[in-house]
Structure 1
Amino acid sequence: MPDQPFASSAFTRTILSHAQQSGLCQDQLLARAGISLSWLDGQGQHIPAHLVEQLWNECESAGAGATFGCELVNGMATACLQGLNILLDSAATLRASLACFVEFLPRVTNCVVAELEEVDGQARLHVRAAEQLPHYFGLDAATLSLVRNIARRVGRAPCEVFVAVSLTSQQAAGPWLHSVGIAVEEGPYPCLTLPLASLDQPLLGANPFLHQSMLRRWQTEAAQHARSDSLDMARHWLTAGDQPIERIAERLGYRQPSNFIRAFRKQFGITPKQFRLGCAEPV
């Protein structure tokens, strides 16, 4: 079954860190947003998206200025991507870098979906909402982080890389983009437009060995995540119908039912048959 909308705990920590620097009280923000401080301890932890959205709202209510999201760009680049920035920096070309960004962004947050479109001699990086459009603080942080980091990777000024950037009507990133010579348009969601030829621009930090090592790690983690999702779907099918276990295993891509049974027992501590018969999962 699909993940519930989430943002990484690293992203949430970045918001709180900047809020404190702005004179806002972290404890009050967390309490009002319904986020437990213990949730922020581990790497790779997920925070429900609606709570992160509430955190944005509480920052605004507590007095954060309109450019609050724009000021998060340094933290976004270093902490929030959980190592994804290393994978993107070490790619051979901007095309390869953006392909990794589009593919693996859902491992960091599934609140937004990135899509790279090539049309009419231009490359357009769309950053759409998976469900409802996030608070404009988050959109500003994401937009400016992408602009700055893409320009940094190719070693050129932002105005030499981007044709235009579309922002929503609420976003406050326009003045900064204008200040570096980028045309700003209004749209339903952020969209970064570049010349198509720039996708094949070699990156300054290209490192084939490092990139392939990082890529294998991210691909492995994505595969593990997908297997976990499929086993959750198996639990649904086991309780929602009378499909034979062999058929469920086949639908989930297991060539041998025994492999499915082994994976299910490793994940949940009981066999699919025991689960179907109503045996309680161990605690």
Structure 2
Amino acid sequence: MPDQTFASSAFTRTILSHARQLGLCEQALLQRAGISLSWLDDQHRHIPAHLVEQLWRECENAGVGRHFGCDLVNGMATSCLQGMNILLDSAATLRASLRCFTDYLPRVTNYVVAALEESADEARLHLRPARQLPHFFGLDAATLSLVRNISRRVGQAPAQLFSRVHLAPGQAAGEWLDGQGVSTEVAEHPCLILPRLSLALPVLSAHAFLHQSMLRHWQAAAPNETRTDSLELARHWLTAGDQPIERIAERLGYRQPSNFIRAFRKQFGITPKQFRLGHFQGCAESA
């Protein structure tokens, strides 16, 4: 039976971006991993998991440090989740945010399965492998990005929120967690453990209208989204904050902002800047 597990091309681009910062050759890594450069131009392309695993190994063979995966945290929090972070950040409570994460992570990758389990006193966010345990670089990136972002959403330090964190054998994330005052244990797969009552904590950036809008987007989107879907996501980002248009283009997988602007204008008849200005002017007039 062929391996149908995958990770999004956005995840692959994040790995390569970090590798480039360390002086590695992108083309050589892709060639040795068996990944076509053209696949990376499609934001919603699914890259077979075994090729992503090979890419991790090629980075390791090229001499990157043991903490290579730990250092991917910033990229994991933005482009890798393909806008899911807005959905998670706008939820009313931590429980609602984590439920969205477990529900929609399979749209981004299915070779790690997230599950939230609640007992009388504890809540456990498991990251179980769909098949074999992923490379520890990937597990480190996922574990640390979750710890950092969940803590940020409720305005608490990791040591205040998490009782302990289980790490798979070989992970390097324990050093960072120990430095944050979070105790760790070795287990079969990563698992974040926190008091059950903390699930009721409000998310600091909760926004009911934005959350419902993003929720409809994720509920309606097919597993293999099209470029049109990503442009719809761009409209949410343009109205949700003041991040530069160049940054939005990057997060959607456009290598050149001009290509994003051209595609947006073709789809909606106006440029992203015009859309943003029109939205905020409309809000001011209706106030």
Same fold (TM over 0.5): yes
Spell out the pairing of 1:146-157 with structure 2 (5 A cutoff). 146-157=146-157
Check if 1:158 corresponds to 2:158: yes
Q: CA deviation at 1:120?
A: 3.6
2: CA distance between counterparts of 1:120 and 1:159? 21
Structure 1 length-normalised TM: 0.77
Structure 2 portions without partners, runs of 5+: 226-287
Q: Give 1:169 shift.
A: 1.7
Cross-structure match for 1:50: 50
Q: Which residue of 2 aligns with 1:185?
A: 185
Distance, in Å, in 2 between the alignment partners of 1:138 and 1:121 is: 30
- What is the TM-score with the length of structure 2 in the denominator? 0.76
Question: Whole-Å Cα distance in 1 between the matches of residues 137 and 172 of structure 2?
Answer: 8
* Matched letter for residue 72 of structure 1: L
Question: Secondary structure in 2 aligned to 1:194?
Answer: strand
1:276 is matched with: none
Alignment-mate amino acid for residue 62 of structure 1: A
Partner of 2:198: 198
Distance 1:180 1:224 in 2: 38
Per-residue Cα deviation, 1:115-162 (whole angstroms, up to 9, x for no partner) = 001114000000000111100000000000000000000011111110
Which residue type is aligned with residue 68 of structure 2?
A: F
Counterparts of 2:224 and 2:181, CA distance in 1: 43
Partner of 2:125: 125
Partner of 1:31: 31
- Matches of 1:223 and 1:19 in 2, distance apart? 28
1:111 and 2:111 equivalent?
Answer: yes
Q: Which runs of 4+ in 1 moved over 2 A?
A: 222-225
1:59 aligns with 2:92: no
Q: Distance in 2 between matches of 1:70 and 1:64?
A: 12
Q: Counterpart of 2:75 in structure 1: which amino acid?
A: G
1:181 counterpart SS class: coil
Deviation at 1:168, TM superposition (A): 1.1
Gaps of 5+ in 1: 226-283
SS in 2 for 1:56: helix
> Whole-Å Cα distance in 2 between the matches of residues 106 and 27 of structure 1?
28
Q: 1:22: Cα distance to partner?
A: 1.1
Q: What do residues 164-219 of structure 1 show as CA deviations (whole Å, max 9, x unaligned)?
A: 00001200000100000000011000000010000000000000000000000100
CA displacement, residues 233-269 of structure 1 (integer Å, 9 cap, x when unaligned): xxxxxxxxxxxxxxxxxxxxxxxxxxxxxxxxxxxxx
Shift of the alpha carbon at 1:223? 7.8
Note if contact 2:45-2:224 (Cα within 8 Å) is conserved in structure 1. no
Q: How many correspondences in the alignment? A: 225
